[in-house]
Chain A
Amino acid sequence: MKIAVLVKEVPDAAVEKRLDPASKRIDRSGEKNLNPFDTHALEAAVQLKEGGAPVEEIVAVTMGPDSSVRTLHKAVSLGANRSIQLTDDALAGSDVNATGYALAKVLESEAPDLVLLGQQSDDGENYTIGAVVADHLQFPSLTQVVDLKLEGNTLTMKRQAEYGYDTVEVDLPAVISVGDALNEPRYPSLKDIMGAKKKPLDTKSAADVGIDAGQVGEAGSKTEVLAINPPPAKEAGELIEDADADVDATVARIVSFLEERKLI
């Protein structure tokens, strides 16, 4: 079987994120990294393979600018056998709908048995791309999976829904987004990191995978950001920044706070 893992380049967690007032998009300049939620999807693919599933290959797929090559190298160092980068100026500014469509077109040409992805991107906070991709592929789809077993062609999965834990069975092919509680992603070895750049990386344009240019990019997107506003003003709380320097003083301050608010 072939597993495709969707990955995304996001601003590094340490970088303060902001919106670009001109484009009204997230400012994605500065340090970037593989979306941490996607590392759980890569780990899940590797564990399926190590667990004895007949996985012939794991393919990391991304849509992004030139710099996203580094994200693919990282994905390969974490267990993908090869990678595909969908990159095209026509794709810039794509919203969720357009991005899901574009990724589905790449996946169509790969015909994977299982598509895995992280439950959310660290920057967009949408949780939605998996279900968009699945509808285009006409695959069943489940999100936020925290336990996953493959027996034969059947995936059995557990996840939290509105009323507690649900268990759901799906016959492959399927698109599954995984929660961060599913596994503990491993660290790549130096050998894996060094070797990643030598693994095959296909770069594809929108036309290469048959994307209708009218359906992607800013023009093809079905949402439009009209304005960026500050959040409602909230009285800033008090912050003890270096609480470990004097734990007794910190504790005394917490106690006095609780007293002031009549909580003890």
Chain B
Amino acid sequence: MAGIIVYVLGKDGEFNKNSLGAISKAAQLAGEIGGEASAVVVGESFDDAKLAELGKYGAAKVYKVTGPEGVAQPVVDAIEKIATENDIKYALFGGGLLGFEIGAGLTARLNWGVTAEATGIRAEGGKLIVERPVLQDSAIVDVAYKGDGGVIVSRLNAFEPNDSIGAAGEVVDTPVEFKEHSLRAKLVARGVQEGADVNIEDADVIIAGGRGLGEAANFSLADDLAASLGGTVAATRAVVDAGWFPYAGQIGQTGKTVAPKLYLALGISGAIQHKVGMQASENIVAINKDPNAPIFEFSDLGVVGDLHSIAPKLTEAIKAKKGA
């Protein structure tokens, strides 16, 4: 019996989709290695009835821990205790910032190996093997764990939630004595949406801008192109953090996931954190001056050149074509 535990994140009464996907994957794998999947939730955002719903996604038990929300280290304390007392050998995280932080802390605490950015997991001989892309996805390595157990942090959206796996989960009240250092980080504000509210998730055409635009004012190039194509403008984390574009229009790991018919990237290098938010787009066109930009590896049409001269002419050409 080797159990798999999944950290479940949530806010405003809803569980995070990635956590639910991780539970469903854990339930499938636990069956194959002869254990059960469980979930741990820290905080007071969910009542017992809601927590029991995690059972539908595959969590046989839901460990309910009272403690601070939105920070990683109290969850490390909680999982250490639960894993140690319940013969749990693997901890699976559905990606996201806290998943990386908790997973890494747990690695140190339990002296377990860790694999980040996992895109696949399989069971072999009662153990888990993790598939993990490396070097900008140019290769995929199979990783096994030595020792007592393993931490797996998946890539965002790697696993789909399935709500027809089980019945209600058993909610287990679990008191945890937190370590002094785990309580020192205090959340002052959570989930603040900086900037205007823009809707990019329903758009058929997205013109996305990255650092290669050079400065905030150059988003006008993306605006003009979007207007000519009847599309919406979006952005990368780098430029949102720089204050060039509102957070609501950010694509990627800590932003939105989109799959438009056309995704046209201006000055975006295509780092993994961005790729996970847009790789399902039907047609990807990228304009970037760096021939080594990873985005060209997964573009349908890549253009190595200066977006500042190409984009305005493209806008004019599309307008002319549409007017014709």
Contact = CB atoms under 8 A, between A and B. Distances in A.
B298 A127 contact: no
Contacts of B318: 255, 258, 264
A138 B254 contact: no
Contact of A223 (B72, B113, B182, B262): B113
B227 interface: no
Interface string B106-129: 011101111111000000000001
Contacts of A141: 72-73, 101, 105, 185
A231 B140 contact: yes
Nearest to A222: B113
B238 A240 contact: no
B97 interface: yes
A62 interface: no
Given A164-B193, A169-B188, A226-B142, A132 B238 contact: no
Interface centre among A126, A133, A225, A243 (most CB of B within 10 A): A243
Nearest 7 pairs of A and B residues by beta carbon = A243-B305, A222-B113, A181-B241, A163-B191, A131-B104, A223-B113, A135-B108
A239 B141 contact: no
A26 B9 CA distance: 33
A96 B305 CA distance: 38
B291 A241 contact: yes
A259 B303 CA distance: 17
Interface in B279-324: 283-285, 287, 291-292, 296, 298-306, 309-310, 313-314, 317-318, 321-322
B71 A168 contact: yes
Contact of A224 (B111, B143, B237): B143
B181 A26 contact: no
Contacts of A229: 131, 139-142
Does more than half of chain B's interface fall in helix, strand or loop, or is it mixed? mixed
A156 B322 CA distance: 51
Interface in B251-266: 254-255, 261-262
Given A141-B72, A239-B304, A160 B254 contact: yes
B211 to A, nearest CB: 9
Contact of B114 (A97, A162, A168, A225): A97
Interface stretch (A44-52, A66-74, A142-150, A186-194): A142-150
Contacts of A259: 321
A133 B101 CA distance: 11
Interface stretch (A75-83, A108-116, A199-207, A245-253): A245-253
Given A19-B141, A141-B73, A161 B105 contact: no
A258 B262 CA distance: 9
A180 B304 contact: no
Contact of B296 (A24, A170, A237, A244): A237
A17 B139 CA distance: 11
A125 B11 CA distance: 28
B209 to A, nearest CB: 15
A25 to B, nearest CB: 10
B281 to A, nearest CB: 11
Interface residues of B, number: 98
Contacts of B161: none
B270 interface: no
Contact of B113 (A95, A125, A126, A162): A95
Contacts of A162: 9, 11, 16, 96-98, 191, 254
A159 B145 CA distance: 32
B179 interface: yes
A237 B101 contact: no
Given A243-B310, A247-B309, A248-B313, A222 B150 contact: yes
Contacts of B145: 222-224
Given A237-B296, A244-B309, A164 B107 contact: no
A104 B108 CA distance: 10
B111 A140 contact: no
Nearest to B314: A251
Interface in B181-215: 181-182, 184-194, 205
Contacts of B58: none
B145 to A, nearest CB: 6
B137 interface: yes
A218 to B, nearest CB: 10
Contacts of B107: 96-97, 100, 128, 132, 135, 222
B100 A226 contact: no
Contact of A24 (B141, B150, B186): B141
B188 A140 contact: no
27 contacts: A14-B292, A96-B107, A96-B114, A131-B72, A131-B105, A132-B114, A135-B73, A138-B180, A140-B182, A161-B254, A162-B98, A165-B194, A167-B192, A169-B188, A171-B184, A179-B241, A222-B111, A222-B145, A223-B114, A226-B129, A228-B141, A237-B296, A242-B305, A243-B306, A254-B301, A258-B285, A264-B321
Contact of B283 (A132, A134, A165, A261): A261
A227 interface: yes
B135 A123 contact: yes
Contacts of A166: 70, 187, 189-192
B206 to A, nearest CB: 12
B185 A227 contact: no
Contacts of B238: 180-181
Given A226-B142, A229-B142, A169 B186 contact: yes
